[in-house]
Amino acid sequence: MGFVPKRELDAVDAVEISPKRHQPGLDENSTEGILSRITLPDLKSCFQDLLADPLCGPFIEAQLHTYADKSWDAERERVKQQAQQIGGQAESAIAKVIRQTEKLRTAANVSDRGNAVAPLLQPTYDLWQLGQRLNGPTLAFDLLMNFVEMIIQPDDGEYEPSGDFDDNDHVHCEIESILVGIAYEDRHRYAEAADWTSQEQTANRRRVVDKLNKSITDSSGTYQYSTLSMLLFNGKIDGTMPPINVGHFCQRPRWQGGEIVGYYDIPSAIYTIDSDSEDGFW
């Protein structure tokens, strides 16, 4: 048997090649090869150049529109996943509160749950603003209702929760302001109030809000989603719909003599409270 010299390994042999990047028979400079590596921003830029061309622009535009429905489906799925992520963050925040109470072997402060979900109100509001076509309002409404259920302090049968049951009222107020905004926007898709209140979605929301208000009462809470309930039952609210202030959400309430008299930097969306100093602080 002849002697076969051992081939020395070079640097290329030692590099692990990703199966995704290495496709046998694929010319790296072919159209398929370029498409397998091109980034989305570069692809968009390429399409924009083609659309601007007077000769091929109309044909490219026609081709692009054939993917319109698929693009909306993909975007709706992305928004749905975004809502699921926000919901998961809320559940994690509440779970952290529960773990802390178990560690201390005592009930949590009433406000701990409200403070846990408060940072998620802004992204939930942004979800609503994505619009009806992406199902943003419905996703945001359902998320907010879940937040309220999370905030309601459960009776663990062993410890009385510390704090007052109205310590979360400022959080409830901000949540309701968004819920009312969503419902009010949906109401104005119909010419008559009766047309809207008879819709299945509106009726379902009425039942959920009624159950929610009862749960708050049963848990010794003080806040009631009365403005939202009024709108869902009558298709209107007393007075005009005030604008929603979205500068910030759910800052801690300012206390004076045991009563909430305002909020740091932000009024609620329903009650306009102006700062009494020029710098915006109370």
Question: What is the chain's mean pLDDT, rounded?
Answer: 75
117 in any annotated domain: yes
Tell me, what's the pLDDT at 188?
A: 87
47 in any annotated domain: no
49 in any annotated domain: no
102 in any annotated domain: yes
To which residue do tokens 């109370």 refer? 282
204 in any annotated domain: yes
* Residue span of the structural domain in which 97 resides: 70-263
Q: What is the pLDDT along the chain (282 residues), one digit of tens a residue?
A: 455 444 444 443 444 444 445 555 556 778 888 888 888 888 889 889 888 988 888 888 888 888 778 888 999 999 999 999 999 999 999 888 888 877 766 666 778 888 999 999 999 999 999 999 999 999 999 999 999 998 886 655 455 667 777 788 889 999 999 999 999 999 989 989 899 999 999 999 999 999 999 888 887 777 899 999 999 999 887 755 554 544 434 333 333 333 333 333 333 333 332 333 343 332
65 in any annotated domain: no
16 in any annotated domain: no
Question: How many domains in the chain?
Answer: 1
Tell me, what's the pLDDT at 254?
A: 34
pTM for this prediction: 0.67
157 in any annotated domain: yes
